[in-house]
Amino acid sequence: MYDAELRRFKNRMLNTLLPPFLTGIHPFVYTMVALLFGVPSIASVIGGEYILAGIFWILNRFFDILDGYTAVKSEKSSERGALLDLFFGFVSYLGIMVAIIYSSMDDLGIILVGSLLLASYCMNLLLWQYPLVLNPELEMPRGIVEGFETAIFYSIFLFFPSVLFYSLSLFLILMIVTVLHRLFFVISSASWTNRT
């Protein structure tokens, strides 16, 4: 919901604090470093080491931020780079959720909520991207849950596993609202209905 505003704030902070030589590193390097922290985060969840997983997760998000920032700053952004960044980001997001479900096989509530979350990710991605393929001029509404909110909730999942069921449930509710909001927009959009 607040991605655009936070991106501007993040860029101002990085412009001030980030040493200039770090912007000379190719963005794809940061993409791969982020992945190298995302994979052990997944493995740590499987091993039941949630706090360690949270530390790896924070590092993953930090290098993902550097990836996007340096791509724009160094004018090395590309559709291929953006796709790879999104793909490897999904590896971390989906992998951690699958690992949470796997490590909670004795908790039916977490298995159910986690599985529904994975389903909501698929529906949200479909509603976020597919209408734009058919109608590139369609401006999709911002979701209640976007990148910032997802990163915060994942941090809560990993650093506070004692309330995992409740935090997963709240996140699922917000994801359902986001999916329904976008579904209603797509169905009622004039620019969409004119093509059908």
What pLDDT, on the 0 to 100 scale, is given for residue 189?
72
Q: Within a 10 A sphere around the Cβ of 114, how many other Cβ atoms?
A: 24
φ, ψ (nearest 5 deg) of residue 145: -110, 120
Q: For residue 192, what are its two tokens?
A: 């969409």
* CATH number of the 3-193 domain: 1.20.120.1760
What pLDDT, on the 0 to 100 scale, is given for residue 4?
56
What pLDDT, on the 0 to 100 scale, is given for residue 59?
96
Burial status of residue 145 (CB atoms within 10 A of its CB: 0-12, 13-18, 19 or more): buried
CA distance 110 to 164: 8
How much is the pTM? 0.84
Return the SS3 of 140: coil
Beta-carbon contacts of 91 under 8 Å, excluding residues fewer than 6 positions away, are 35, 38, 39
pLDDT means per 10 residues in the chain (196 residues)? 55 59 74 94 96 96 84 69 84 96 95 96 85 71 81 95 96 94 80 51
* Sequence spans of domains, the chain: 3-193
Distance of CA 120 to the CA centre of its chain: 13
What pLDDT, on the 0 to 100 scale, is given for residue 192?
53
What pLDDT, on the 0 to 100 scale, is given for residue 74?
65
CA distance 83 to 89: 10
Q: How many CA atoms lie within 13 A of 128 on its CB side?
A: 14
What pLDDT, on the 0 to 100 scale, is given for residue 98?
97
What pLDDT, on the 0 to 100 scale, is given for residue 53?
97
